[in-house]
């Protein structure tokens, strides 16, 4: 039987990571998020903190990344992208699972039986959630959301040539602010 994979892309603060973990628990399959970071760090030799920070963000933005790559060859960020692709493909070949972030929806298209999910919510709900969950108060929560989402969108566009969050790239998009975490978990589990 072919492995079934759920990929979870998410806006920062929407609860996508939590939803992914709870879906995996409900279905009795592993969830790869921080474990994926550890595996990529081990295979790349990069520090785990670097992988965590740069694994979904382009350093210096799209323009500087393109210019560095064109002038000097692959950057360390490009190398991390190749390793993440390899790790994600290997995991999907080994077992059914949930994979959170890291462009897994793009990496696995045509390679695995996937349910690609995008989790979003309005900014106010997400800002409220990050303050509650992470105690984030150093920056304005709204500014932090905008920065994280912009960086994820730039990374996704740079490596996939597709638009992050565009509904046509996913099988289902769920508004966790309206539906709530529990309902999102139930819906995804039913669709699996």
d(CA 148, CA 129): 15
* Domains, the chain: 4-191 (3.40.50.300)
pLDDT band at 181 (very low <50, low <70, confident <90, very high): very high
d(CA 42, CA 46): 7
132-178: pLDDT as tens digits: 887 756 678 889 899 999 999 999 999 999 999 999 999 999 999 99
Closest CA to 107 of 154, 150, 145, 156: 156
Q: What is the pLDDT of residue 108?
A: 96
Residue 175's Cβ-side half-sphere holds a number of Cα atoms within 13 Å equal to: 8
41-95: pLDDT as tens digits: 888 788 878 777 766 666 544 444 444 444 567 888 898 899 999 999 999 999 9
Closest CA to 83 of 41, 32, 50: 41
Q: What is the pLDDT of residue 59?
A: 53
Mean pLDDT of 171-187: 98
Q: What is the pLDDT of residue 134?
A: 79
pLDDT band at 37 (very low <50, low <70, confident <90, very high): confident
pTM of the predicted model as reported, rounded to 2 decimal places? 0.86
DSSP-derived letter for residue 58 is -
d(CA 101, CA 16): 9
């Amino acid at each position: 039987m072919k492995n079934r994979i759920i990929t979870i892309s998410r806006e920062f603060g929407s609860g996508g990571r939590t939803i992914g973990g709870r879906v995996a628990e409900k279905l009795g399959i592993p969830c790869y998020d921080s474990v994926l970071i550890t595996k990529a760090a081990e295979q790349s030799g990069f520090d785990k903190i670097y992988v965590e920070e740069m694994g979904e963000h382009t350093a210096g933005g799209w323009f500087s990344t393109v210019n560095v790559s064109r002038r000097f060859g692959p950057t360390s960020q490009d190398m991390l992208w190749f390793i993440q692709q390899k790790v994600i493909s290997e995991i999907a070949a080994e077992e059914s699972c949930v994979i959170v972030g890291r462009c897994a929806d793009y990496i696995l298209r045509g390679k695995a039986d996937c349910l690609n999910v995008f989790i979003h919510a309005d900014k106010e709900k997400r800002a409220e959630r990050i303050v509650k969950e992470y105690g984030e108060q150093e920056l304005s929560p709204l500014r932090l959301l905008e920065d994280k989402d912009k960086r994820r969108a730039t990374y996704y566009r740079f490596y996939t040539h597709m638009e992050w969050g565009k509904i046509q790239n996913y099988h289902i998009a769920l508004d966790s602010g309206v539906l709530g975490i529990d309902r999102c978990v139930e819906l995804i589990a039913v669709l699996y």
